[in-house]
Amino acid sequence: MLNVLKTRWRQKHRTMAYPGGPAPALSDRFAGRPVIRGECPRGCHACRDECPVDALHPDADLIHLDMGRCLFCRACADACPQGNIVFTHRHQLAAARREDLVASAASPERTEALSMIAHKFFRRSLKLRQVSAGGCNACEADANVLGTPAWDMGRFGIQFVASPRHADGLLITGPVTENMRLALEKTYAAVPEPRIVIACGACAVNGGPFVDHPEVHNGADSQLPVDLYIPGCPPHPLTILDGLLRLLGRPVPTQRPPG
């Protein structure tokens, strides 16, 4: 025990300053909020043809990219001969409405994520039961990172709990497989009202790469009312934390990185 205390003393303070200070550095490989630029030549479907999950829908001369479906693989950006699709380093992707995840040239830099129920009842203390409804464990792992000393989600009063009866809502990952459908419904029913639901990751938002498979239900909102959508495959911990804070109406800085 003494050695543990000595080690922690040498390590000093490890929790990041965000959101009171700068956000942690993101890898150069990080693909964040896409920006749609310019018009497309008529008949050019190069981006749509390369997308593995049909997340792009060229409409006349415009592109609509559904971040809820998107795996952020950048295949569309590499395929676009005009360079009209650019994935930035903007991590603020979460939205309260599913339709706000569709990016176009007219989309704002950041979508609204506030829930009035969450702001009223859970602003200072939010307890979540995480449900893996057929997930691959990538979204689950990035959500669990928020409990480490570096991120320390608990300093905002946000924690994962073991029992839905102790929870204020659910954080759901995975496409909701048929085998997990009933378990998810029972878990939701065990959460006392008022309660919120968060769909975390492409699978929970829209089914991800498994969309329309006969054994999945294409995401959480096919079964439950969803208050917050966090896209990504998987979403970065910073994206998840930003979404949770904005859901509660907690102040977070607007990110405006180069590009």
Q: Tell me what pLDDT residue 44 has.
A: 81
Q: 62 vs 154, which has greater pLDDT?
A: 154
pTM reported for the whole predicted model: 0.92
pLDDT band at 43 (very low <50, low <70, confident <90, very high): confident
Chain position carrying tokens 């990952």: 173
pLDDT band at 58 (very low <50, low <70, confident <90, very high): low
Q: Tell me what pLDDT residue 257 has.
A: 47
Task: State the average pLDDT over residues 111-133.
Answer: 95
Task: State the average pLDDT over residues 82-105.
Answer: 93
Q: Tell me what pLDDT residue 59 has.
A: 63
Give the Cα separation of 43 and 59 in Å (integer): 10
Q: Is residue 258 over pLDDT 50?
A: no
Q: Please, what is the average pLDDT of the chain?
A: 91
Is residue 43 within 8 Å of 69, Cβ to Cβ? no
Q: Tell me what pLDDT residue 61 has.
A: 64
Give the Cα separation of 257 and 89 in Å (integer): 7
The two tokens of residue 106 are 């007219």
